[in-house]
Amino acid sequence: MDSWAGLPEQRLLTLAQRGVADAYGELVRRYQGELYNVVYRLLGDQHESLDLTQESFVQAYNALASFDTSRPFGPWIKRIATNLALNWLQRRHVLTTPLTRPAQPGAEEPEELALPDVSTEPERVYLAGERHELLRQALLALPPHYRAVIELRHFQELSYEEIAVALKLPLSDVKSNLFRARQLLRKRLEGEV
């Protein structure tokens, strides 16, 4: 059926709950790019992000029978992906990328890496790409629990309450983690860390 793309999301969800594989396939097609971006921003690893994106859709499919089709699918699948990514980070003990170079022989402290100042470059596209890469590197350098609150708040645009539910944290912890994450991110981007 070529008309899957034209069906409303709630109809696709209802059909998918009844076992219509093509309906779920259309949901995957609609959300796979967004979901990959969510996971990639948390992991910074292309291969693992592809695997966890696929795993997110598998887990969502297995839990689809209990999903309330009156709710939007996007935030739900993104929460699944976020939790999978955080679990992966915890299992793998992935080290964050330091913004320092190891101490040279004879030096007492590691050398701070300066983030290049590209504010005077005339090419806007180049600047945007540079800023994007610096932000991506700074985000990847954050501890996973800080990365998660930034992702959920600023990229998925969840409320504090929704973040608390998604991460199973008290609301006060969400607020303080977000505050600390923003401070650390600002310091990293300004070259202070």
> What are 73-114's pLDDT values in tens digits?
988 999 899 989 888 887 775 444 555 555 566 666 666 655
Query: pTM, whole model, 2 decimals?
Result: 0.58
| CB contact at 8 A, 183 and 172 | no
> What are 8-56's pLDDT values in tens digits?
999 999 999 998 989 999 999 999 999 999 899 888 888 899 999 999 9
Share of the chain above pLDDT 90, in %: 27
pLDDT at position 185 over 70 = yes
**99: its two tokens:** 């913004």
Q: In one letter, which amino acid is 12?
A: L
Structural domains in the chain, sorted by start: 1-94 (1.10.1740.10), 118-193 (1.10.10.10)
Instruction: Map residue 191 onto helix, strand or coil.
Output: coil
C-alpha neighbours within 13 Å on the C-beta side of residue 18? 9
pLDDT at position 154 over 60 = yes
Instruction: Map residue 111 onto helix, strand or coil.
Output: strand
For CA atoms 95, 97, 100, 102, the dihedral sign is: positive
The residue whose two tokens read 């969502």 is: 60
The pLDDT value given to residue 107: 61
Lowest-confidence range among 37-51, 111-125, 162-176? 111-125
Cα–Cα distance, 82 to 170 (Å, whole number): 18
Cα–Cα distance, 175 to 164 (Å, whole number): 9
Kindly state the average pLDDT of the residues 137-142: 82
Angle between helices 171-189 and 160-167 (to 10 degrees): 100
Q: Mean of the per-residue pLDDT values for the chain? A: 80
Kindly state the average pLDDT of the residues 111-127: 53
pLDDT at position 141 over 80 = yes
Kindly state the average pLDDT of the residues 161-176: 88
Exposed e or buried b per residue across 43-71, where buried means at least 16 C-beta atoms within 10 angstroms of its C-beta: bbbeebbeebbebbbebbbeebeebebee
Cα–Cα distance, 109 to 34 (Å, whole number): 41
- Report residue 118's pLDDT band, with 50, 70 and 90 as the boundaries: very low
Kindly state the average pLDDT of the residues 57-65: 92
The pLDDT value given to residue 115: 53
